[in-house]
Amino acid sequence: MAEVKKYPAPVTNPETAPFWEAAKAGKFMIKRCTACGEPHYFPRAICPFCFSDKTEWEEASGEGTIYTYSLMRKSPTGPYTIAYVTLKEGPSLQTNIVDCDLTSLKIGQKVKLVWKPTDGAPLPFFTAA
Amino acid sequence: MNREAAAYWIPAFAGMAVVHVAAQWVHQLESSRYRLALRNISALAKVGPTGQKNSLQEETSAENDLTIKGKAYIAGIYEHPTRHAPDKSTAQLHAEVAKGAIEDAGLTKDDIDGYFLAGDAPGGLWPMVDYLGLNTKKLRHVDSTETGGCSYLIHLGHAAEAIAAGKCSVALVTLAGKPRTGPMPARAAGAEADFEAAYGATTHNAYGMCAMRHMHDYGTTSEQLAWIKVAASHHAQYNPHAMLKDVVTVEDVLNSPMISDPLHRMDCCVVTDGGGAMIVTTPEIAKSLKKPLVRLIGHGEAMKGPRGGKDLDLTYSAGVWSGPRAFEEAGVTPKDIKYASIYDSFTITVLMQLEDLGFCKKGEGGKFVADGNLISGVGKLPFNTDGGGLCSNHPVNRGGMTKVLEAVRQLRGEAHPKVQVPNCDLAIAHGTGGLLGVRHAASTCILERV
């Protein structure tokens, strides 16, 4: 599991550029709508719940729990674990669980954010807390 | 009413009644004579509203309602026998299945006035219409709705809508491709790409995540999932074209290599070259042809995704919405269904769809599929009697077309005798497209033998 995997650099666009700029500074951002109060991920300009344009960036804790996962054993780039993690702030997101024993993961297990480098901004991953 | 019946009827009435009945008889005789004499399909084609009702139209009870119920028939079907096509092009496979379906219906290419295709068709509509040589003077309705594997179920519903609205009368739907021997069609990136692409979601692990959570929430087991593959294999042994014809056991499935937890290799469908096509047409045209009459009486479509990550729940699919829409339109319930074509990209796909469609309660799918309940002649709900995607065919990694085709075979009485459901007059064809654990569509079609 120690081999260094090459991840693609985010392409980014005007809507999401602030997320990636913050990522470069080690900050993990989500969006929250000030009209309905709901947080969401991945970030959008318009709230996917109430359709208000009053969405604001908010730094998330990087703490969460595993909603579900699957250890992909047959892959040309080696085994990896895809997962949905539910953030402490509410939204669930798709990610990989990395840098820990992938054979003993459990639904509901606490995980924390780790960044992995790319040729551009780093990408958010999660590992056992 | 025939001549003899009329001879009895007329003396039984007096005065105006006699005149009225006689007039009806003459009218019906003329209609039936005209119908028998018809050889030109275009004479039966529905046209847009003209303010004058076409006297040849036979009304269904729902004719004037806002529904497609009974307004479109599947007159032609064809499934390519190949599962490995190194010597053919993708466009060629589309042409071969189109030809097969048109000939099955007893029509000609020139009768086609509607064409439906999805992302598997090289270049989309302009290139395919031109390549196939469809009659562009007649072609008046096209649709390239792309929802992955269930595209063709949605096409069937959309074709019925177009036919009901008079936008076309003979619709062709094609699917074909060669994932084993050629490149797969590219897909444009969605808005989520930067936030998800790096994590390597594939069909295997996205469906694996659904199965993992379903097991966690409801106690579903790998043994129960394995029964779905076992049932498919029992059916596939009778399909000479099936890619995998061997009957397997629950133990065989559990002993096959783990691909992406908790899905074993035998929980996964096959990868095949090939394709299929269907002809959807008006009641009048279908009745002028020779095939047993099969019509669409209910259709539903729906979408589901993580939607900002709120209240994520991977244990149900968009089938919870497409199913009730279709059943309501058809006026039937899951209990009425005699045969079910359920997209089986993975065993978990079937289990979740059966729950979502209401064949059992949410969480009880494991018990429902166990002990051969899906095996024709054994269980309560015969499913995928062609062997399905798990054993027979999964052209271009898209299962929606073959789901319709086997349902039509069952309704026509053309399934293999060993798996034919007796008196099969009501069937469901249902599928999902995209990734069940990420973003997907679902479509449900209720089909009836007339």
CB contact under 8 A, B199 and A94: yes
CB contact under 8 A, B195 and A92: no
Considering its fold, how many domains does chain A have in total?
A: 2
Check residue B40 and give its pLDDT. Answer: 73
Asked if A70 and A45 sit in the same domain, the reply is no
Specify the residue for token string 């289990």: B351
Check residue B28 and give its pLDDT. Answer: 52
Cα–Cα distance between B365 and B357 in angstroms, integer?
A: 11
Q: Please name the residues in contact with B137: beta carbons below 8 A apart, sequence gap of 6 or more.
A: none
Q: Please name the residues in contact with B368: beta carbons below 8 A apart, sequence gap of 6 or more.
A: B351, B354, B355, B359, B360, B381
CA distance B382 to chain A (A): 30
Asked if A55 and A67 sit in the same domain, the reply is no
Long-range contact set of residues B35-44: C-beta below 8 Å, sequence gap at least 24: B35/B287, B35/B288, B38/B288, B41/B107, B41/B111, B41/B169, B41/B170, B41/B285, B41/B288, B42/B111, B42/B138, B42/B169, B44/B169, B44/B282, B44/B284, B44/B285, B44/B288
Q: Which of B317, B19, B20 is nearest to B147 (CA)?
A: B317
Cα–Cα distance between B352 and B319 in angstroms, integer?
A: 9
Give the nearest partner residue to B261 out of A67, A71, A75, using CB atoms. Answer: A71
Asked if A94 and A126 sit in the same domain, the reply is yes
Domain coverage including residue A121:
61-129
β-pairing, B170-177 with B114-116?
A: parallel
Asked if A72 and A127 sit in the same domain, the reply is yes
| Whether complex ipTM tops 0.90 | yes
Give the nearest partner residue to A84 out of B211, B257, B312, using CB atoms. Answer: B312
Check residue B53 and give its pLDDT. Answer: 47
Interface with B, mutate which of A41, A68, A126 (most B CBs under 10 A): A68
Q: In terms of CATH architecture, what is B72-182+276-293?
A: 3-Layer(aba) Sandwich (3.40)
Could you tell me if residue A53 is inside a domain?
yes
Segment A14-31 shows an average pLDDT of 98
CA distance A54 to chain B (A): 15
Check residue B12 and give its pLDDT. Answer: 36
Helix axes B347-357, B203-218, angle to 10 degrees: 50
CATH number at residue A80: 2.40.50.840
Could you tell me if residue A20 is inside a domain?
yes
Asked if A40 and A70 sit in the same domain, the reply is no
Q: What is the DSSP string of A33-91?
A: ETTT--EESS--SS-TTT--S-EEEEE---EEEEEEEEEE---TT--EEEEEEEETTS-
A1 has a pLDDT exceeding 80: no
Could you tell me if residue A3 is inside a domain?
no
Which residue in chain B is spatially nearest to A98 when comparing CA positions?
B199
Could you tell me if residue A55 is inside a domain?
yes
Asked if A68 and A54 sit in the same domain, the reply is no
Q: What is the DSSP string of B184-251?
A: PPP----TTHHHHGGG---HHHHHHHHHHHHHHHH---HHHHHHHHHHHHHHHTT-TT-S------HH
Could you tell me if residue A121 is inside a domain?
yes
Segment A40-63 shows an average pLDDT of 97
Asked if A72 and A95 sit in the same domain, the reply is yes
Asked if A81 and A104 sit in the same domain, the reply is yes
Asked if A97 and A76 sit in the same domain, the reply is yes
Query: For B242-299, what is each residue's pLDDT tens digit?
Result: 999 999 999 999 999 999 999 999 999 999 999 999 999 999 999 999 999 999 999 9
CB contact under 8 A, A82 and B261: no
Could you tell me if residue A1 is inside a domain?
no
Asked if A33 and A18 sit in the same domain, the reply is yes
Q: What is the DSSP string of B251-313?
A: HHHHHSPEEETTEEGGGBPP-B-EEEEEEEE-HHHHHHSSSPPEEEEEEEEEEE--GGGTT--
Identify all chain B residues contacting A71, using CB atoms and an 8 Å cutoff. Answer: 260-261
Query: For A85-110, what is each residue's pLDDT tens digit?
Result: 999 999 999 999 999 999 999 999 99
B37 vs A44, higher pLDDT: A44
CB contact under 8 A, A74 and B200: no
Asked if A81 and A124 sit in the same domain, the reply is yes
CATH 3.30.70.2190, applies to B199-270+295-449: no
Could you tell me if residue A52 is inside a domain?
yes
Last residue of a domain, one of A60, A79, A101: A60
Could you tell me if residue A102 is inside a domain?
yes
Beta-carbon count within 10 A of B143 CB: 21
CB contact under 8 A, B208 and A11: no
Q: Do the Cβ atoms of B47 and B162 come closer than 8 Å?
A: no
Identify all chain A residues contacting B202, using CB atoms and an 8 Å cutoff. Answer: 72
Asked if A124 and A66 sit in the same domain, the reply is yes
Domain boundaries, chain B: 72-182+276-293, 199-270+295-449
Cα–Cα distance between B448 and B193 in angstroms, integer?
A: 41
Average pLDDT, chain A: 95
Residues with pLDDT less than 70, chain B = 1-39, 46-65
